[in-house]
Amino acid sequence: MTIEFKGKTISNIVEWEKEIFSDAKKMHWKVGRSAYSLAEFIINKNGEHTIIDEVSKIIGESLILDNAHPEYEVQFDNYGHGREHDLGIYGTTKSGKKVFIGVEAKVDEPFGNTISQAYIKGKAKQLNGENTNAPIRIEELLKRNYGNIKGKYFDLPYQLLFSTVGTLSVKADIHILFVIVFKTSLSDPLKVKDNKKKYDNFFKELGAKKLYKDCYKVNIDGNTLYSLYITV
The DSSP secondary structure of 58-119, one letter per residue, reads: HHTS-EEEEEEEEEEEE--SSSSS-EEEEEEEEEEETTS-EEEEEEEEESS----SBHHHHH
Contact by Cβ (8 Å): 38, 178: no
Looking at residue 147, its pLDDT comes to 85
Whole-number percent of the chain with pLDDT over 90: 93
Residues 6+ apart with CB under 8 A from 150: none
Q: Please tell me what DSSP assigns to residue 28.
A: G
Per the structure, the complete domain to which residue 170 belongs is given by 2-231
Query: Where residue 118 falls among pLDDT bands split at 50, 70, 90?
Result: very high
Alpha-carbon distance of 57 to 84, in angstroms, equals 26
Of the two residues 25 and 230, the one the predictor is more confident about is: 230
What tens digit of pLDDT does each residue of 124-148 get? 999 999 999 999 999 999 999 998 8
Region 95-117: mean pLDDT is: 97
pLDDT score of 213 more than 90: no
134-146 and 115-127 are packed helices; what angle lies between their axes, rounded to 10 degrees?
150
Contact by Cβ (8 Å): 220, 202: no
- pTM across the whole model: 0.95
Looking at residue 80, its pLDDT comes to 86
Instruction: Indicate the SS3 state at residue 29.
Output: coil
Work out how many domains the chain is built from and give that number. 1
Region 74-98: mean pLDDT is: 95
Query: Where residue 158 falls among pLDDT bands split at 50, 70, 90?
Result: very high
